[in-house]
Structure 1
Amino acid sequence: MDLKLKGKRALITGSSAGLGEAIARLLAAEGAQVTVHGRNEARSKSVAESIMETGGLADYITGDLSTDEGADKVAQAVLAGGQVDILVNNVGTYQPQPWLNATVQNWNDTYNNNVLSYVRMIHRLLPQMKTLGWGRIIQIGSSVAIQPMTMQPDYSASAAARHNLSVSLARELKGTGITSNTVSPGAMLVDTTRNMLLQMAQHNQWGSSWAEIEKNAVAQFTPNDTERLGRPEEIAGAVAYLASPYANYISGAVIRVDGGLVLSL
């Protein structure tokens, strides 16, 4: 299916690895010109070059979006290369820890990295997007925004703020041709998750094969109807659809990609 993204230009923040990388790769495969962003120049450059080697259009930018100066640098660099039609706010951090171990400073840092980084890029890229009369702003949220856990309370709260700001922004964008939506992943199989589960497998008696380990770990920690972890490509698919003209009538929505983890309508 042609998602009609040829000629569109997309910035995906935090796309030098993980979910962001998968999003950048799929948007490029669908014909969009993508800008890979990360803090590590070697990783960001490697992803962009890999996309170009497979026939895609890509460049890369590095910068720390947790500061105004870093966001200025990234925005100026990406706009110097042309218009931005699609902004995917994906950058973020988290440190799993119990409630009373999460200090006020942890909460402050998490909110700055996971919420204000999104706001900074919206402020810097939305004005030029309005001149185009069409655009997409897509936030990557989380299932814990709707169904929080006892661990990482600061991260859960910051994810809820992402969902909320996306809806508020959609109301602000009424009549502009620009939409604002959220893709909300459940537990995802990225390298860090796989390595962690492999280390925990023997102690928890989850089995020896990856299929056994994944099924048993999911049953214990994130039970869902598919009995597995999500794949980055599945998040990328939802983002690509929302970025396309086929989603013109969708704004202010939260698209859950969580295997049925969240027990809610």
Structure 2
Amino acid sequence: MNLELTNKRALVTGSNAGLGEATAKLLAAEGAAVVVHGRDKDRTEKVAGEIRAAGGSVTTVLGDLATDDGGAEVARAATADGPIDILVNNAGFYRHLSWTEATPAEWNDTYNINVVSGVRMIQHLVPAMRERGWGRVVTIGGGLASQPMNTHPQYNATLAARHNLAVSLARELRGTGVTSNVVSPGAVLVEATKDLVMGIGPARGWGEAWEEIHRNAVEALIPNDQERFGEPDEIAAAVAYLCSGYAQYVSGATIRVDGGLIRSAF
């Protein structure tokens, strides 16, 4: 299927690893000129090099979105070769903390990085999309926005805020040709997820080897119809659809990619 992304330019924030990397690679494979963003130069250039080797069009931009100056610089660098048509707000921050460990300062930092950073990019890049009459904003959210765990409350709350702001933005962009949607992943098997599960698995009696821990972790934490963790490419595919010409009638929506029902239990 041709997703009609040729001649579109896409900025994927936090795309030097994980879901962002998978999304940048898929958008590039579908013909978009992709801007890979990260804070680590080596990791960012590695992803860009892999996209080039596969025949994709790619540039890179480094910067910290958690400050006004950093966000402005990333936006400036991302648009140096042309306007951005697609913004995927993927960058985020996560720490596994209890209610007593998550201090007010931690809440503030997490909100700034996970919510305000995305707002910065929206405010820098969406006005030009509106002027051109075409654009896509996709926010990466998560099931914890509506079914939060008792742990890492500061993170759960920011996912809810990301979902909320994406719908508010869709209402703001009514009639402009620019859409705003959410892709809400379940538990996805990226490096951080595997590290977390391996870290807590033996103490919870889930086994010692990854295969056994994986099976028991899914049953204990995220029972779903597919009986497994998701893969980054599966999330990227949903993003790519929302960025495509086929999704012009989709705005203010949340696309769940979670294998079915998620139940949180930490």
The TM-score with structure 1 as length reference comes to: 0.96
CA distance in 1, matches of 2:103, 2:201: 30
Residue 62 of structure 1 corresponds to 62
Instruction: Please report the TM-score for the alignment, with normalisation by the length of structure 2.
Output: 0.95
Match of 1:42 in 2: 42
**What does residue 229 of structure 2 align with?**
229
Q: How many angstroms apart in 2 are the aligned matches of 1:151 and 1:199? A: 16
1:137 and 2:137 are equivalent in the alignment: yes
Instruction: Point out 4+ residue stretches in structure 1 off by more than 4 angstroms.
Output: none
The C-alpha deviation readout for 1:209-251, integer Å capped at 9, x for no partner, is 5443212111112222211111111110000000001011000
Offset at 1:199? Answer: 4.0
Corresponding position of 2:240: 240
What is the CA distance between 1:25 and its match in structure 2? 0.5
Task: Give me the whole-angstrom Cα distance separating, in 2, the residues matched to 1:190 and 1:256.
Answer: 18
For 1:190, the equivalent position in structure 2 comes to: 190
Partner of 1:164: 164
Across the aligned residues of Structure 1 and Structure 2, the Cα RMSD in angstroms comes to: 1.3
Aligned partner letter, 1:162: R
> Which residue pairs with 1:10 in the alignment?
10
- Contact 1:146–1:262 (8 Å) recurs in 2: no
Q: Would you say the 8 A contact 1:3–1:244 is kept in 2? A: yes
Question: How many residues are aligned here?
Answer: 263
- 8 Å contact from structure 2 (residues 222, 262) kept in 1: no
- Partners of 2:165 and 2:262 lie apart in 1 by 20
> Identity of counterpart residues, as a percentage?
57
Partner of 1:27: 27
Q: Deviations over 1:17-61 (max 9, x none)?
A: 010000000000111110000011111111011100110111110
2:154 matches 1:154:
yes
Q: Residue 180 of structure 2 aligns to a residue in which SS?
A: strand
Distance 2:201 2:168 in 1: 42
1:50-88 per-residue CA deviation (whole Å, 9 max, x = no partner) reads 100110111110000000000010011111110111000
Moved more, 218-227 or 161-170: 218-227
The CA deviation at 1:128 is 1.2
Q: Distance in 2 between matches of 1:99 and 1:203?
A: 21
Are the equivalent residues in 1 in contact too, given 2:141–2:185 (CA < 8 A)? yes
**1:208: how far off?**
5.6
Which consecutive unaligned segments of at least 5 residues does structure 1 have? none
Task: Name the SS for the 1:138 alignment partner.
Answer: strand
Cα distance change, pair 94–199 in 1 and its aligned pair in 2 (3 A): closer
Aligned: 1:206 with 2:239? no
